[in-house]
Amino acid sequence: MKGSHRAPRIEWRLLSRFLSILGQHRTWIGSAAASTLAVTAVSFAGPYFVRAIADSAIAGDLRRVVVLLLASLGVALFESGAGYAKAVSMATLSSLSIRDLRNRLTTHIQALPAATLDRYHSGDLVSRLNSDLDSCETICRRVPDYVHQPLQFLGGLTFMFLLSPKLTLVTCAAMPISVFVFERVVRPMQQHSAKAMESLAATNAAMQDAIRGAPIVRAFNLQHVLSEHFHTLAKTLERHGMANRKKGILAWIPFLMLRYIPQLIVPLYGGYLAFRGEISLGSLLAFDWLIWFVFLPLEALLAWIRELRESSPALARCYEILDAPAERRGGNPVPPVSRDGAVAFDDVTFSYGGADVLDGLSFHVSSGRTVALVGSSGCGKSTVLRLLCGLYEPRTGEIRVHGQPISKAALGSLRSRISLVAQDTHLFPISIADNIAMARPEATRDDIVAAAKAASAHDFIAALPDGYDTLAGELGNRLSGGERQRIGLARAFLKDAPILLLDEPTASLDTESEARVLEAIRRLSQGRTTLVVSHRLSALRDADEILVLADGRVCERGTHESLLEADTLYRRFYEQQVVSAQGPALAVEEA
């Protein structure tokens, strides 16, 4: 267990990969490099002018003093301009690089398999895209200093040694001690930073869950419970943040050693050397200036170590996502039609990591037919639809769409042949028209309106204050469940794919909304291969065939009427729903 107390190392490999992103913006790199070198070179003019002015003044050469003062003023102005160019170049370069990395992360998250996304909370992913990347931006802005400060350190040390080797050796004697103390102080900061980032992600996730679940929170009076949970997370975040701040405060001890010990040594020992005539007064003044050329870069080096220890966990969290394998690319196109039928499952087995959800499932669906999947909760009905969309890969067996095995199909081509209407239609916080157009971004307004009419959605959309330009709100919270579902159907009409997947399309709707949605589904299903999953058996009467799933397999199949005529599991499902729906009414009549 000793290793658990050891601070993690700085991820130099990740740092190298991260900094390589800067190479995409060569113009700004050139500007930053030129201005950095200019600032570095010109900075040494200051000590030179101090020594020359002081020695000239002591010698009584006032004319040379005036010339040197004017020259130093011009150099100072040039240094200010070069410093400004350096700051602007690096601010721009770091912003562009973080933008590029954020875009890469966003794109890669969209390409991750569903099984990978299932391992992360959306709040955690958002935290990596925002807070973690913001922590990394400091590293980008420091890049010119990685060149400027070492050059200034070496140049300053050389200049000091030329002025007085003795004074240089005595002044730098405490340097190794300060570096050692600082490293021991800041080493645990990386561990606390990693835990703080994880705590921040958990806090963001908890707040996101509380906001999205606000109706349930209020209905069950869970405000106090969630507040306590949030306060616990916030306290953990504050504890790790405080630990880092305390370490940062302790880190000032070696900083103070670096700053004040040389400031004491130079006037005392340097004054003694000047008194003995081993160094001129001008050289002593220049030396006093040069100590900052040595010790400020050393302070910067120690600060970089601290920042790298704090930012290294953020880099690791970002590259954990970037290095996760994306969905497979390439593959064969899926034809729009096939003589081999539309959908085929042959001996398919699948699990989400535990017991098998599907166990040797086999069935075929001919083109243009409507097939319903029925069964108890957890029997794998919705899993069938997810596998058809290529969201998950079966462990064994083969799935074919229009004769093309999904395992060899191009996922983009596969999904272009499928329209999915889920139980909870996901709407984006954009206009209703734009939400419908998600199915076909190049669609015209007339195409969108036609799809809405076919889905029985046009009337309620037209009655809204801004019509099709009305914002749907986050997750469509400005619309009712039935309205959201009809917008989902409008998307399917607009996409006009040959295969239609309906996953509990009426599960959360009232009777009136269900009737409207079912009518739209009947129109949408015409001429298409349709697979519908539903617990509400009233939505399945129009199916050409009903497949009853149990234990991961098809245990019964037939039409609605034929399955009701025999002693089937489907009949028992149906009778339970009829009794459940009519029981209260019958009880009232008997009373």
Domain membership flag for residue 259: yes
Residues 250 and 397 reside in one and the same domain: no
**CA distance linking residue 136 with residue 144, whole number of Å:** 15
Q: Would strands 545-550 and 553-558 be described as parallel, antiparallel, or unpaired?
A: antiparallel
Q: pLDDT digit string (tens) for 8-63?
A: 566 778 888 887 888 788 888 888 888 888 888 888 888 888 888 888 888 888 88
Q: pLDDT digit string (tens) for 359-397?
A: 999 999 998 899 999 888 888 888 999 999 998 999 999
Residue that terminates a domain, selected from 322, 348, 371: 322
pTM above 0.75, yes or no: no
- Please state the rounded mean pLDDT for residues 280-306: 78
Domain membership flag for residue 443: no
Number of domains the chain is built from: 2
Residue that terminates a domain, selected from 273, 289, 322: 322
Q: Which residue has the higher pLDDT, 391 or 228?
A: 391
494, 445 contact by CB (below 8 A) = no
- Please state the rounded mean pLDDT for residues 193-202: 68
- What domain range is 191 assigned to? 2-8+20-322
**CA distance linking residue 488 with residue 508, whole number of Å:** 14
Domain membership flag for residue 284: yes
Residue that terminates a domain, selected from 295, 322, 349: 322
Burial of 339 (0-12, 13-18, 19+ CB in 10 A): exposed
Q: Give the H/E segment covering residue 183.
A: helix 175-186
Q: Is the pLDDT of residue 236 over 80?
A: no
Residues 532 and 575 reside in one and the same domain: yes
- How many C-beta neighbours within 10 Å does residue 484 have? 22
Residues 296 and 359 reside in one and the same domain: no
Confidence of residue 587 (pLDDT cuts 50, 70, 90): very low
CATH number at residue 133: 1.20.1560.10
Q: Would strands 545-550 and 370-374 be described as parallel, antiparallel, or unpaired?
A: parallel
Q: pLDDT digit string (tens) for 468-515?
A: 999 888 777 888 888 888 888 899 889 989 999 988 877 766 777 777
